[in-house]
Chains A and B, each alone.
Chain A
């Protein structure tokens, strides 16, 4: 994946969520955003996902500039998969129907085709036994893996994951991280915002440290976690890795 941000800014009232972020990566399969909560990771991901419009600045994904205008954004969203912190499954649909819906409603599959695709994915994630359960009957980890399956089913160019494990206990977190690692091994491009430093270090090609609405540092994980030149990054890592 190629990604280029130039001076992207977004404010909510007087709060500057993003205060001019510029960033460029090429040939990056896994880009990971780390940083304190409220620092702008989520807003940045939501702009990339076409769910939020920046006040100013430009975004280019795989060489194509993102046009922040509804019809274009709709097209853009259809090329992506998004996974949210709170799973956001549709509670009235069973697990497999959650995966089927975007395939039939947006991507022109027949219901039978879509179900086949969905079941194949659920089997791969070892969720096929839960296919017909409603989200309320699933554990957090299962829900999040269904959400990943839903995002993945449409063959997205890029998968965006916004703190996918922040609402989960350690065992479920492990379960979801294993799934994400599986995607990485299959060469799926993704951008992940996370607080799991160990995981970030392991899967990322590039890690971006984002704080106070700015990109503090962008580096390979070995450099950023091992010998960061930025004092703010070092302070943050010292704090979170201490315990």
Chain B
């Protein structure tokens, strides 16, 4: 049934696209673009690598910040909240310019890949922090009280009671964030990082095949984001239990 739905959706999508293309009267020529497939492939690889690394680092940042936001130590809480508001309140584009041309310059961080991973992590970390915080907050008072009553320490309460339950709750939001992160990595093209967007742009300018390049670019991102969404559905099913 699921497979049939996928098939139906794909068919409908393809038909609509074909009709639109036909109506637009454009001439498609894939040969020049195809000649540069290596460039696409390496850009795609960079996007994949940068996104994976940034996902790991931003999960770490998000986790630490979410805990800091719940800390009993006020300065730590203020710092964490300030970071989240600052990052979520400004466009990624501006952050990249500021962090790369001012901060990275000041600390002599010249490796664009590492700088790119860090900037993306700082950005995504703020969103993940909010996702995690919401997950932790969703664990009811009665659960915390129960944990307290059996004599768990604060750390044990997180480990045995809060985190296992919160993990299930944050999973969908976290996937959404992960998909966003992959797409947001396209903005790293502005610092000249040769990831998928930058590569596609290059190919477009070499071949004058703008449309073909951008269609490939979109497909390249889908190839990364779709499997994540599908895998999450599976995971969600496995995690499911009635409450």
Query: Do A and B belong to a common assembly?
Result: yes
**Smallest CB-CB separation from A77: which chain B residue?**
B151
Does A74 have its Cβ within 8 Å of any Cβ on chain B?
Answer: yes
Most interface-central of A82, A92, A136 (chain B CB within 10 A): A92
B-side contacts of A53, CB under 8 Å: none
Binds A, one of B42-50, B63-71, B153-161: B153-161
Whole-angstrom CA separation of A198 from B161 in the bound complex: 37
Binds A, one of B142-150, B196-204, B226-234: B142-150
Does A49 have its Cβ within 8 Å of any Cβ on chain B?
Answer: yes
Whole-angstrom CA separation of A113 from B26 in the bound complex: 74
Q: Are B164 and A101 in contact, CB atoms less than 8 angstroms apart?
A: no
Q: Are B149 and A106 in contact, CB atoms less than 8 angstroms apart?
A: no
B-side contacts of A82, CB under 8 Å: 149-150
Q: How large is the interface on A (under 10, 10 to 19, 20 to 34, 35 or more residues)?
A: 20 to 34
Q: Are A78 and B242 in contact, CB atoms less than 8 angstroms apart?
A: no
Q: Are A101 and B148 in contact, CB atoms less than 8 angstroms apart?
A: no
- B residues 106-154 with Cβ under 8 Å of A? 142-143, 145-146, 148-153
Q: Are A91 and B145 in contact, CB atoms less than 8 angstroms apart?
A: no
Does B241 have its Cβ within 8 Å of any Cβ on chain A?
Answer: yes
Does B27 have its Cβ within 8 Å of any Cβ on chain A?
Answer: no
Q: Are A88 and B142 in contact, CB atoms less than 8 angstroms apart?
A: yes
**Smallest CB-CB separation from A134: which chain B residue?**
B241
Q: Are A84 and B145 in contact, CB atoms less than 8 angstroms apart?
A: yes
**Smallest CB-CB separation from B159: which chain A residue?**
A105
A26 to chain B: closest CB distance in Å?
26
Q: Are B146 and A88 in contact, CB atoms less than 8 angstroms apart?
A: yes
Q: Are A90 and B148 in contact, CB atoms less than 8 angstroms apart?
A: no
Does B24 have its Cβ within 8 Å of any Cβ on chain A?
Answer: no
Does B165 have its Cβ within 8 Å of any Cβ on chain A?
Answer: yes
Q: Are A77 and B241 in contact, CB atoms less than 8 angstroms apart?
A: no
Q: Are A92 and B164 in contact, CB atoms less than 8 angstroms apart?
A: yes
Q: Are A90 and B143 in contact, CB atoms less than 8 angstroms apart?
A: yes
Does B243 have its Cβ within 8 Å of any Cβ on chain A?
Answer: yes
Asked, given contacts A74-B151, A136-B243, A150-B150, whether A88 binds B156 with beta carbons under 8 Å apart, the answer is: no
Q: Are A90 and B151 in contact, CB atoms less than 8 angstroms apart?
A: no
A-side contacts of B164, CB under 8 Å: 92
B-side contacts of A150, CB under 8 Å: 150
Whole-angstrom CA separation of A137 from B241 in the bound complex: 9
Given contacts A49-B149, A88-B145, 8 further A-B contacts (CB under 8 A): A77-B149, A88-B143, A91-B165, A92-B164, A102-B151, A105-B160, A136-B242, A136-B243
